[in-house]
Structures are given as C-alpha cells and as structure tokens.
Amino acid sequence: MKNLNGVKLGRNVVVEEDVLIEEGVEIGHNSVILKGTHIMKNSKIGNNCVIGIKPQGNNRMRGNESSTTLLISENVKIGNLVSIYSGTTIGQHVFIGDHASIRENVKIDQDTVVGRGAIIELNSTIGKACTIQTLAYVTGDTIIEDHVFIGPCVSMSNDKYMGKSPYELKGPVIKKGASIGNNATLLPGVKIDNDSVVGAGSVVTKDVQNNSTVIGNPARLL
C-alpha cells in the first residue's frame, strides 16, 4: 500500500474529484471512491469496493431525490466487494461484511453490524448496535430501531400488492430490542414491537405486540 498524507491506498485505487479522505484511512486494492464521498478518520475499506454510487433506473422505477454525498464516519470497517450508494450515512464503528450492498438514503447508526451479503435497500433507517446477519434482505422504507437482531436470510417486503395496484411503499417497523429468527419473512408495514421475538421461518402478516413471541406461517402468538 502507498501511504499518502496518512492515507494508505492499495494498488489501482481510483479516487474521483470532490472526495474527502481523512487521516488513518486504508483503502484496499482496486477499490473506487466516487465523487461526493467523505471518509472519516481510521476507517478501513477492503478490496474491489465501489463507494459513492449514484442511483440509476428506468421509467418503471420510482424516482428518488438523493443527496450526492456519502458519509462514512470514524472507525468504520468495510469488507471486500461492497457497494454503497450516495446519500447514505454510516455511523461510527459500523462493520459491513463482504459482498454487502447498501442503497441510497440509508442511515446506519453507530456500532451496528451488517453481515456478509446482506442488502439494505433505499430510504431505510437502522439504529444503534443492531445485527443484520448474513444474506438478510432489508427492503426499502424500513425502520429498524436500536439493538435489533436480524437473523440470516430474513426477508422483508414493502409492496402489499406486488406492483399490481397503487400502494405507498412501506417496509416493516422493527422496534427496540426485537429479534427476528433465521429465514423469517416480514410483510409490508407490519410492526414488530419492543423486545418481541419472531421465530425462525415464520411469516409475519400482522403486528406483533411488546414482549411477545410469534411462530409459524402465518405467525401466531406462542
């Protein structure tokens, strides 16, 4: 790695104009840092990442007024082959695993873990000290509060009619301290309340109350 003014750059790194990289940052081989990105002190980015992607689409996709700035806060660790879009904010001490994808207008608060291959779609908010495990899919317009656990391969949806009828897209709301087991499915707009548990493989079609445990398809109170 080359050490330039306190920043370590691997081979074939591309840094576009209007990028701010603070001291102590390390960027791995073949990674691309696009215009409008701000990477704060002591953060580490792996190999073959693309950081600061501008959203694109076609006439069948909804428009999205996204900020052109991507902020990666201090002491963030990003794995290999990760893609992160502009308009997103990554909080301090966040860990993002290999192959993860994080879309535009996402906010991830401090100390959260985003696992290998997880996908966080646009306009979603994730609180402090959450765990989003391997291959989890967080749909667009989802709210996840602090200290939430999302198990491997959890899937969420935000379109009640699957594109057949007009519907305001609305992802699940997962409240503080809730836990979602492996391979669970959360339907659009459901609320998983504080400290509740969704069992592995469950399909949640209705709201889950505080401190409740639900299992099955459809999910029912245990």
CA 159 to chain centre: 19
β-bridge partners, 87: none
| pLDDT tens digits, one per residue of 30-72 | 999 999 999 999 999 999 999 999 988 777 666 566 678 999 9
Looking at residue 101, its pLDDT comes to 98
Question: Are 182 and 153 a contacting pair, CB within 8 Å?
Answer: yes
DSSP type of residue 52: E
Query: Cβ distance 93 to 76 under 8 Å?
Result: yes
- Higher per-residue confidence, 60 vs 78: 78
Query: Is the predicted pLDDT of residue 140 greater than 80, yes or no?
Result: yes
* CA neighbor of 115 nearest in space, from 97, 93, 138, 94: 97
pLDDT in tens, 93-109: 999 999 999 999 999 99
Give the least confident one: 2-11, 149-158, 165-174, 176-185: 2-11
Mean pLDDT of 147-173: 89
Burial of 195 (0-12, 13-18, 19+ CB in 10 A): middle
CA-wise closest residue to 173 among 111, 127, 118, 134: 127
Q: Are 79 and 100 in contact (CB under 8 A)?
A: yes
What integer pLDDT is reported at residue 1 of this predicted model?
57
What are the CB-based long-range contacts (under 8 Å, 24+) for 193-199?
A: none
Is the distance from CB of 210 to CB of 193 less than 8 angstroms? Answer: yes
164 pLDDT tier (thresholds 50, 70, 90): confident
Statement: the pTM of the whole predicted model exceeds 0.85: yes
